[in-house]
Amino acid sequence: MLSDEQISTQIAHAARLVANARNGVVITGAGISTPSGIPDFRSRDSGLWERHNPMEVASLSAFRHHPERFFAWVRPLLANILAAEPNPAHYAIAEMQKAGHFSTIVTQNIDGLHQKAGSSNVLEVHGSLETATCTMCYRTYRSEQFIPEFLETGEIPKCPHCGGTLKPNVVLFGEALPWQVWQKAQEAVLAADLVLVAGSSLEVMPVARLPVEAAMRGAPVIIVNKTPTYMDVRADIVLRGDVAEILPRMAEAARRALSTT
């Protein structure tokens, strides 16, 4: 484990890379939202998949055959997400983006906290809870039309037009990523002069391969995460710890680095 002095040195090094970046990309996972009270999926003891089999509650096949299981599982999570507020990590990323260092945020999260914190050009590669699509007539609706009643009663949301089940436009297991969003994410990484991975274990494909594609092109890669990732050996800087503590320090150090140049 690194000492406080070593961590400070690493943060200062990362801040210099950030200060020099003009077209960086941030890749975020569930770990960036856990400080906001939203549970992640894979943490031992507290991860959502410790208590539920994802293929039984959050796969496309399960949704088609037993939508009631999905909605029973997602109901408390949805209430949690709607009550959550951005944490210092979200605000630090927004600050570094507004300073001109990062052009794009690629997130695996569906909570919308990056946007709430002020970030722009957020690519939600695993979809969003903002809309839902009917599984029968394929009409799309704003989810806010149905969420309050669903949270209150637990009844499965139905299409006002045909009565079909409404599926939130989030990516389930066995479902393809939204193509246009994924294409934009790949293009952003290919053009990036820095990639910052924050709060992602880099275990879910195809997002997990984005940092290595950047590294192969020679772009620096910074990883901030509580647990190891497969990219640690390829990254320029690895900071093991709480994103809500490390990223604000990085943003502040990058601000100072710019003021002295």
DSSP-assigned states of every residue in 135-190: TTT--EEEGGGTHHHHHHH-PPPB-TTT-PBEEEEEPPBT-PPPHHHHHHHHHHHH
Report the largest interatomic distance among the alpha carbons of the chain, rounded to a whole angstrom. Answer: 62
Listed by start position, the domains of the chain span 1-38+87-126+177-261, 39-83+129-170
Topology at the third CATH level for domain 1-38+87-126+177-261: Rossmann fold (3.40.50)
Q: What is the pLDDT of residues 159-204, one digit of tens each?
A: 999 999 999 999 998 899 999 999 999 999 999 999 999 999 999 9
Q: Give residue 39's pLDDT band: very low, low, confident or very high (50, 70, 90).
A: confident
CB 36 within 8 A of CB 199: no
pTM for the whole structure = 0.92
Vertex 175, ends 206 and 28: CA angle to 5°? 40
Question: Between 4-20 and 243-259, two packed helices, what is the crossing angle to 10 degrees?
Answer: 60
Which secondary structure element, helix H or strand E, spans residue 221, and what is its range? strand 221-225
pLDDT category of residue 46 using cuts at 50, 70 and 90: very low
For residue 47, the model assigns a pLDDT of: 41
**Active-site residue, selected from the candidate residues 90, 101, 114, 126:** 126
Q: Residue 10: which of 232, 261, 212 has the closest Cα?
A: 232
Residue 167, beta-bridge partner list: 133
Active site residue 65: no
Dist. CA 114–CA 133, nearest whole Å: 23
Least confident window among 98-112, 225-239, 247-261: 247-261
User: Tens digit of pLDDT for each residue in 225-249?
Assistant: 999 999 999 999 999 999 999 999 9
pLDDT of residue 4: 81
Confidence of residue 6 (pLDDT cuts 50, 70, 90): confident
User: For 157, left (φ over 0), alpha (ψ -120 to 50), or beta?
Assistant: beta
What pLDDT, on the 0 to 100 scale, is given for residue 259? Answer: 73
Find out whether 133 and 167 touch, Cβ atoms under 8 Å: yes
How much is the average pLDDT of 116-125?
98
**In this structure, are strands 221-225 and 237-240 parallel, antiparallel, or unpaired?**
parallel
pLDDT of 50 above 70: no
Q: Residue 58 — very low, low, confident or very high, per pLDDT cuts 50/70/90?
A: confident
- Is the confidence at residue 52, as pLDDT, over 80? no
- CATH number (3.40.50.1390, 3.30.390.30, 3.30.1600.10, 3.40.47.10) of 39-83+129-170 reads 3.30.1600.10
